[in-house]
Structure 1
């Protein structure tokens, strides 16, 4: 977990004179008003947004790396162009989100460079799915179809977020993610309608990615991780639904589609309980989830190394941009 105390972004007890501001702030939240970057906000709200948006932005950037591996290996020129455009979009999403986070961090003298350094030091985590290997072309399809599909469900849950700059950024990001999901679905359909070898490759990819997809939304309860992040983000109307509600929405949408293609998931317990009106499934290994997000996943170190090389190689660009303009 990103440690804001160690990085100079810390919470002080709210002084008595801030209590009235806090009440006014919460009244605005409850009335559905949008909070802007230069508005007064409580430390807890600011820090929650910094954690959330920094992680989201870094995950978009790191999420481009698994698919980037398939740009030169995609089976046709059309597929190469499609996945290259998707990689460019994801990097753009990351830069947009880090700019939003940068405004929130400004009172603490921090910028997006600090966020990247925290990633490389292991203080800032990125999403569990982007630590995983992409072994075949079918993996690229699964990322576009199911991983981006899960991302759309998660992000549309915050499309009415109380923080205006994040909400507006999400509107653009979600619109582009719909195209990404369609791109992935096109790959999946081609493989599902292809040869027996292609169908087997697709099924193998679904089998490998299924545990990571279940982990995507995070544990169902705070007791699992000792974190109350869900409650805080709901209190401040940054998000609406819980982790488990989002996971069930994903299962509702995608399990029927998976089965309709003649595919299966590696979980014999999966079934729809009509009485509970929910999908029943086997919980993933949440200890493994913690290991993965702590950079102990299959491709964690390799992808962090790629990001470190890029960050260092482009240091001269950041220095040039920081120079005052010559009149």
Structure 2
């Protein structure tokens, strides 16, 4: 029996080979360029999740706008919330351009969020109980975000890489904003310092989870190999988590604070931090919208979408 290969198959293989050659050479892929379906779908999922996380991530801090301890702090956190919403809109536009060949729009992204098909970062399912939490979000959560996002500044997809350059520049100010809140509390009363310690104790596990599982054996799922293969990013989840430890553990300890993990230490022989693994089964439940504030924040997003849908309809007609 003679094996036959269609012209379409040959063209597809040739396109893929040329695509990978471009990526290996460091070229940027643009919206109108040919790309394999796996690459497109990986980008849509990643950028949609990133964009929605920027929007959902503004909600815990939005809760503190009317409760900020001074006018200066109120103005600072209002500006930060505005920036995060802008980041979300920028990223959703990038995702939307990728979705157009599939006949989908930004509205599909919102529907996927509300249906549970689109996830957002685990940390934004958390409750921001105190002003210390508001500071910690800027200091450590945004600090973790900077580490992951700067790892993609040279992403193979040009529109995403360019959007990240602007976003990362603004995130640096957000981290400084959070650090200023933490430093003020650390230099304050014993009660204020205890507030920071309480925030670290409650958020530490979520911060570890922020970077995702180290490998597929931890939770049974991991998409990091695909993003690395296509040079969307260069480091693994665990490498990024180790970078976070190296940057922030000394800073936390320098303030006289402690970490809620007695096993945490730097292993000189292994050249990496050893730590207690978070409960990854809990992580899976959180990103399925079963976290402390998941339902409330999704409901707020749904109300906003429903109340303002007339604007979308007016623009489309």
Taking structure 1 as the reference length, what is the TM-score of the superposition?
0.94
User: Quick check: 1:185 aligned with 2:179?
Assistant: yes
User: Quick check: 1:79 aligned with 2:73?
Assistant: yes
Which of 231, 246, 264 matches 2:258?
264
Residue number in structure 1 paired with 2:298: 304
Residue number in structure 2 paired with 1:11: none
1:281 positional shift = 0.5
Residue number in structure 1 paired with 2:194: 200
- Say which SS state the counterpart of residue 272 (structure 1) adopts: strand
Residue number in structure 2 paired with 1:23: 17
User: Quick check: 1:284 aligned with 2:316?
Assistant: no
Segments of 4+ moved more than 6 angstroms: none
- Inter-partner Cα distance in structure 2 for 1:127 and 1:88: 19
- Inter-partner Cα distance in structure 1 for 2:40 and 2:66: 41
Residue number in structure 2 paired with 1:7: none
- Inter-partner Cα distance in structure 2 for 1:60 and 1:136: 21
1:79-98 superposed matches below 5 A: 79-98=73-92
Residue number in structure 2 paired with 1:163: 157
Which of 246, 249, 258 matches 2:243?
249
Per-residue CA deviation, residues 189-213 of structure 1 (Å, 9 max, x unaligned), is 0000000010011100011000000
Per-residue CA deviation, residues 239-277 of structure 1 (Å, 9 max, x unaligned), is 000000000000000000000000001001011111112
1:16 positional shift = 3.3
Residue number in structure 1 paired with 2:137: 143
Residue number in structure 1 paired with 2:126: 132
Which of 301, 312, 317 matches 1:318?
312
- Say which SS state the counterpart of residue 15 (structure 1) adopts: helix
- Say which SS state the counterpart of residue 18 (structure 2) adopts: helix
- Say which SS state the counterpart of residue 218 (structure 1) adopts: coil
State the number of aligned residues.
Answer: 310
Per-residue CA deviation, residues 146-181 of structure 1 (Å, 9 max, x unaligned), is 000000000000000000000000000000000000
Which of 10, 30, 38 matches 1:36?
30
Which runs of no fewer than 5 residues in structure 1 stay unpaired? 1-13
Taking structure 2 as the reference length, what is the TM-score of the superposition?
0.97
Residue number in structure 1 paired with 2:208: 214
Residue number in structure 1 paired with 2:60: 66
1:228 positional shift = 4.3
1:319 positional shift = 1.0
Residue number in structure 1 paired with 2:220: 226
- Say which SS state the counterpart of residue 246 (structure 1) adopts: helix
